[in-house]
Amino acid sequence: MAQIELKFESFEELVDFSKKILGVAEEQAHPVYKESKVTYGTQSATPAQQTPAAAPPVQPVAAPTVPVQAPPVQTAAPVQAAPVAPVVPTVEHTYTLDDLANAAMTLMDKGMQTQLQNLLAGYGVEALPALPKNQYGNFATALRGMGANI
Residue (of 100, 103, 99) closest to 149 by Cα position: 103
Average pLDDT over residues 15-26: 80
pLDDT of residue 31: 54
Q: Kindly report each contact of residues 53-59 with a partner whose C-beta sits within 8 Å and lies 24 or more positions away, as own/partner.
A: 55/30, 55/31, 56/27, 56/28, 58/28, 58/30, 59/28
Residue type, 51: T
Write down the pTM of the prediction.
0.41
User: How far from the centroid of its chain's Cα atoms is residue 46's Cα?
Assistant: 61
Query: Phi and psi for 73 in degrees, rounded to 5?
Result: -85, 125
pLDDT at 42 > cutoff 50: no
Q: pLDDT for 67-114, tens place per residue?
A: 666 666 666 666 676 777 777 777 777 899 999 999 999 999 999 999
Average pLDDT over residues 34-43: 50
Q: Kindly report each contact of residues 129-138 with a partner whose C-beta sits within 8 Å and lies 24 or more positions away, as own/partner.
A: 129/97, 131/100, 136/94, 136/95, 136/96, 136/97, 136/100, 137/92, 137/93, 137/94, 137/95
Taken in order 131, 137, 139, 144, the sign of the CA dihedral is positive
- Contact by Cβ (8 Å): 139, 100: yes
